[in-house]
Amino acid sequence: MIAIALSIAPIFLLIVTGYGLRRGGIPSEEFWLLNDRLVYFVLMPALFFVRISEADLSDPDLIPFAATLYGGFFAAVIAGTAAAVMLRYPGPQATSILQGAGRFNTFIALAVAEALYGHPALQLAVLGAAVLVPVVNLTVVGLFAVLMPRAGGSVMLGAARSLATNPLILSILAAGVVNKLGLAPIPVLQDTLAVLGQAALPIMLLCVGASLKLRGLQAELLPMGLAAMGKLVLFPAVILGLALVLDLPPLTAQVALIYGALPTGVAAYTLARQLGGDAPLMAAMITVQTLLAFAIMPLWLSLGAYAFGL
């Protein structure tokens, strides 16, 4: 466990550095806002396109890998939604609980996978994001419409626009087409995007830290606890069990477990703010889970390394 903790420590230090730089006004508030857009619209799509367009999509392990990831995600989202409904939380708080329980920080997943197991794991992590990102977005948006019926029409319309213009989803679709047509690697374009993709991981980790908000953590403890239980306990537990049942290859299983042990993603705050959710509660969940992941992720990954024989 100590070896895993030491290997991923630089990732969390970069996150802390990003938080410190933004709170210190270095270089400026405007810089961090623009940097977020650079990562979202340029660097991450470039990384996704290069990795997916050149991946072996005929690998028979991809189907059980996807099934494992979906199993963990849906178990956590269903549990979070059921808890919110049974405790009669209003729509805005309920949607934050379900997002906190089921969404994940893709940026950290890619960084942890590469730090621990190198480029083969990064490739698997990108494929994991490719199968999860569209399904996660559609599921969460659909539940927003169900839990906030008065705003259902506007929620779905806004979400449809968001999904249709989501640069990550568009890059995944484009890469899939290029892959299936056997066009990769595309001269010049592929090399250019590869260079941009190399810049993605360190910059996006700084941006994750810059987005954290320690103020306002006096949000209700119960909804934060419900979300954390779903994301940091149930999600990885289901993935661990499914990976063993489906007999995934060790590295594939461990990458799936990385997704399970992640804190919820910063995109959840943006969605909560855009669609009428409880944005302050969502911001508190993101910050608390990111801090908890410092301790919890090495525990899960050490258990996975033992169980999968890594």
Query: Tens of pLDDT along 137-149?
Result: 888 888 887 887 6
Q: What share of the chain is helix, strand, coil (3-state, %, to 5)?
A: 80, 0, 20
Confidence of residue 22 (pLDDT cuts 50, 70, 90): confident
| List of residues 6+ apart from 120 with CB closer than 8 A | 251
Lowest mean pLDDT among 116-130, 145-159, 179-193, 271-285: 145-159
Q: Average pLDDT of 13-23? A: 86
Confidence of residue 32 (pLDDT cuts 50, 70, 90): confident
Q: In angstroms, rounded to a whole number, what is the distance separating the alpha carbons of residues 74 and 69? A: 9
Query: Tens of pLDDT along 230-282?
Result: 999 999 999 999 999 999 999 999 999 999 999 998 888 877 877 778 888 88
CA angle 84–143–286, rounded 5-degree value:
65
The pLDDT of residue 157 is above 80: no
Q: What is the CATH architecture assignment of 2-305?
A: Up-down Bundle (1.20)
Element (H, E) at 15: helix 2-23
Predicted TM-score (pTM) of this structure? 0.89
Nearest to 66 by CA among 161, 133, 156: 133
Q: Average pLDDT of 103-116? A: 90
Q: What is the CA radius of gyration of the chain?
A: 18
DSSP string, 239-276: HHHHHHHTT--HHHHHHHHHHHTPPPPTHHHHHHHHHT
pLDDT (0 to 100) of residue 305:
92
Of 219 and 75, the structure prediction assigns the larger pLDDT to 75
Both tokens of residue 44?
A: 């991450």
Among 31-40, 52-61, 131-140, 156-165, which range has the highest average pLDDT? 131-140
Signed CA dihedral, 8, 10, 13, 14: sign only? negative
Is the Cβ–Cβ distance between 138 and 160 less than 8 Å?
A: no
Q: How many residues does the chain have?
A: 310
- Domain boundaries defined on the chain: 2-305
Q: Count of alpha carbons within 13 Å of 273, Cβ hemisphere only?
A: 7
